[in-house]
């Protein structure tokens, strides 16, 4: 157990010893000039894992999503997004800021948009209205407690995008969590999308970095967009090296995070003020509504903090995320804090 039990996000993990060694020993070159062998190795590995032609190493998930939207759209276009998605709510409006396109948010059942509604929202060509060029799906769905979007739903949406000649982008920041929970290989999810972004710096514990995968043509253009956004980095093999460790050694342990999140959810579900259905916790994110007669959300978070338990307020209430640096003793500390505060 660490000094502080940090449940704010799976982004808070520290690199493993092996990652730190890999960083120190990485063979590097200049990646903007295209000759960093460690970045190239990571990109080859990512493309192979996802069954795509090519991959691009980017500094963050937000940049990966921004590049995908920029490549797949033109000004005056519209993008169908899920209403609670990260790309729509938590990426500082890059759709309008960078790509100059408008998002069209649709509601969903736990991240799964109704395919019929997606189809009804694809615009008919007209000089008056935007052109729909892209649909974005998020799996797992962060703001909906890490829900796994069923593959059948993505297949149905894919069929519609193909029929209408528009693109499908998958925000797979936590696609390995989706795969762990569903037993469906990441390649099968990726096969349904024209592009996939996934993160090394979330459950997989690398210190930084995400990957964008897709066709060779998509990635070649995406590389130019990355440069224009200031995301071309030089001896970045030092960051790609822990990314390789993340992909080869860290995906297998995600199930431990899922078990801990479920146990936490089951233990707190009945406590006063907490609104949570533990059956809905499928991966490593526990979001619960909090409405207590005497304690506000900020007060609750600060009382948790006094007990060395960190969590975040979110639109749905309070968020706890399990990850590599949370062990059973951290869960016990959190549960003790819950019962002391809520009694």
Binning the chain into helix, strand and coil, the percentages to the nearest 5 are 45, 20, 35
Going by DSSP bridges, is the β-strand pair 274-275/285-290 parallel, antiparallel, or unpaired? antiparallel
Helical segments of the chain, H only: 17-25, 37-50, 61-72, 86-89, 94, 115-120, 151-164, 175-182, 186-190, 216-228, 237-249, 254-268, 297-306, 328-342
Q: Which is nearer to ligand TLP, 269 or 313 (CB)?
A: 313
Selected from 142, 161, 177, 283, the binder of ligand TLP by CB under 6 A is 142
| 77 in contact with ligand TLP (CB under 6 A) | no
∠ CA 210-1-245, rounded to 5°: 30
Q: Which residues contact 208 (CB under 8 A, 6 or more apart)?
A: 59, 60, 200, 201, 239
At its nearest, how many Å lie between ligand TLP and the CB of residue 62?
Answer: 3
At its nearest, how many Å lie between ligand TLP and the CB of residue 141?
Answer: 7
| Paired tokens of 294 | 């005497």
Name the residue with the smallest CB distance to ligand TLP: 61
Name the one range near ligand TLP by CB under 6 A: 55-63, 101-109, 236-244, 268-276: 55-63
At its nearest, how many Å lie between ligand TLP and the CB of residue 58?
Answer: 9
- Which DSSP category does 84 fall into? T
At its nearest, how many Å lie between ligand TLP and the CB of residue 319?
Answer: 8
Cα separation, 242 vs 54, whole angstroms? 20
At its nearest, how many Å lie between ligand TLP and the CB of residue 128?
Answer: 33
Selected from 5, 6, 7, 9, the binder of ligand TLP by CB under 6 A is 9
Q: Which is nearer to ligand TLP, 5 or 341 (CB)?
A: 5
The contact pattern for ligand TLP, residues 206-245, with x = CB under 6 A and - = no contact, is ----x-----------------------------------
| 171 in contact with ligand TLP (CB under 6 A) | yes
Return the exposure string of 304-338: e unless at least 16 CB atoms fall within 10 Å of the residue's CB, then b. beeebbbbeebeebbbbbbbbbbeeebbebbbebb
| 66 in contact with ligand TLP (CB under 6 A) | no
| 322 in contact with ligand TLP (CB under 6 A) | no
| 89 in contact with ligand TLP (CB under 6 A) | no
Binding residues (CB under 6 A) for ligand TLP: these are 9, 11, 60-62, 65, 86, 90, 138, 142, 171, 173, 199, 201, 210
């Amino acid at each position: 157990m660490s000094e502080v039990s940090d449940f704010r996000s799976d982004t808070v993990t520290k690199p493993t010893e092996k990652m730190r060694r890999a960083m120190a020993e990485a063979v590097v070159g200049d990646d903007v000039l295209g000759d960093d062998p460690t970045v190239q190795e990571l990109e080859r590995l990512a493309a192979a894992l996802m069954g795509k032609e090519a991959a691009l190493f980017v500094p963050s998930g937000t940049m990966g999503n921004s590049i995908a939207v920029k490549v797949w759209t033109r000004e005056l276009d519209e993008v169908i997004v899920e209403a609670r998605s990260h790309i729509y709510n938590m990426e500082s409006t890059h759709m309008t800021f960078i790509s100059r396109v408008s998002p069209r948010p649709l509601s969903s059942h736990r991240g799964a948009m109704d395919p019929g509604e997606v189809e009804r929202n694809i615009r008919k060509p007209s000089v008056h209205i935007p052109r729909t060029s892209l649909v974005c799906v998020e799996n797992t769905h962060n703001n909906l407690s890490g829900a796994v979007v069923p593959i059948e739903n993505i297949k149905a949406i894919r069929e519609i995008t193909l029929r209408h000649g528009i693109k499908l982008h998958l925000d797979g920041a936590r696609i390995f969590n989706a795969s762990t929970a569903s037993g469906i290989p990441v390649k099968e999810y990726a096969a349904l999308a024209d592009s996939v972004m996934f993160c090394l710096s979330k459950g997989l514990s690398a210190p930084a970095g995400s990957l964008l995968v897709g066709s060779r043509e998509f990635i070649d253009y995406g590389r130019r967009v990355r440069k224009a956004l200031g995301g071309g980095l030089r001896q970045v093999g030092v960051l790609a090296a822990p990314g390789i460790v993340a992909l080869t050694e860290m995906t297998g342990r995600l199930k431990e995070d899922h078990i801990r999140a479920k146990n936490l959810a089951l233990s707190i579900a009945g406590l006063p003020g907490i609104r949570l259905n533990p059956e809905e916790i499928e991966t490593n994110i526990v979001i619960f509504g909090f409405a207590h007669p005497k304690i506000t959300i900020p007060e609750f978070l600060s009382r948790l903090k006094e007990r060395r338990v960190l969590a975040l307020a979110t639109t749905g209430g309070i968020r706890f995320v399990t990850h590599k640096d949370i062990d059973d003793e951290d869960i016990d500390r959190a549960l003790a804090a819950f019962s002391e505060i809520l009694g």
